[in-house]
Amino acid sequence: MADTGRHLDAEGWRALQRKEPEAVAYFARHLAAPCDVCEEFLAAEQEEDALGLEALADEALGEAAGPAREDAVGWARLRRRLGAPRRAWLAGAVAAAVAAGLAVLVLPQVMRTETTPSQRIKGTVPLVLELAAMAKLPNGETPPVRDDTVLPPEAVVLLHYHSSEAADALLLREAPGLPTQVLGRYELEPGTNPLREGADLAGVSLEGEQGPVTLVLVAWPKGPGSREAVEQAAGQGAVPPDAVRARLHLRVDPGHAAP
């Protein structure tokens, strides 16, 4: 391998995959400068790539342009393929319209769902947490959702919360006979707000669901340990008995067109 005129070929490539010291030393020097012959060899796909060169190149080439713009459509398509319970996100103008609709619809009404007072240190005011929802139906209607509302599986449930203070929260889905599933983590702001993920409204798609489904928002007032509490509950996939929570009970019925 001492000949200086040597270029990459199948044999040299194999030697490099096996990290033969002579070949490694020679090509480390030779390839340090542009070489049309070697680059032509490298342009072709190689069967063996123990060095992971293709991936190193594609990763760097893919990152060169900087962050890509958000792809809400691609994600919406992908999440339909991922396992139930599916999430749904509404972006842009639709989200704004729905959020406005939610505000009008929800605020004058009594917030639905139960609230469990927290077991906080004596003498402090407990966190008050409430959950309200509306459904987005395929026909474009957005009826309010109350406890025990029956919805078709095509519906997307959009959530609104009221929190008395800033909190770290977890949204879970409970269904009989199925393990509790974490749907998302949120930072709640004081007041009444739609549940958001980035610029999108967080929604829960009911695709693939049937029968009773309960959405549970569990929250810990922001402070030391609140994030850890979220992580612990997420890791266990369970609602800790001492946490503040708000539940929304739904029924999914494929034969049901609208609430």
What's the CA gap between 35 and 56, in Å, rounded? Answer: 20
Query: Which of 9, 18, 19, 141 is close enough to bind another protein by CB under 8 A?
Result: 19
Amino acid identity, residue 249?
H
- The site string for another protein over 89-108 (x = CB under 8 A, - otherwise) reads x-------------------
Q: Which does 197 bind (CB under 5 to 8 A by kind): another protein, Zn ion, none?
A: another protein
Contacting range for another protein; rule: CB under 8 A; set: 55-63, 104-112, 129-137, 156-164: 55-63
Q: Which two tokens stand for residue 64?
A: 């060169």
What's the CA gap between 203 and 87, in Å, rounded? Answer: 6
Query: Which of 79, 120, 146, 251 is close enough to bind another protein by CB under 8 A?
Result: 79
What's the CA gap between 78 and 81, in Å, rounded? Answer: 5
Element (H, E) at 194: strand 191-194
Query: Which of 62, 108, 123, 140 is close enough to bind another protein by CB under 8 A?
Result: 62
List the one residue out of 85, 246, 103, 91 whose CA is nearest residue 155.
85
53 binds Zn ion per the rule CB under 5 A: no
Q: Which two tokens stand for residue 139?
A: 């026909």
Where do contacts with another protein occur on this chain (CB under 8 A)? 16, 19, 24-25, 27-28, 31-32, 34-35, 38-40, 42-43, 45, 49-68, 70-71, 74-75, 77-79, 81-83, 86-87, 89, 181-185, 197, 234
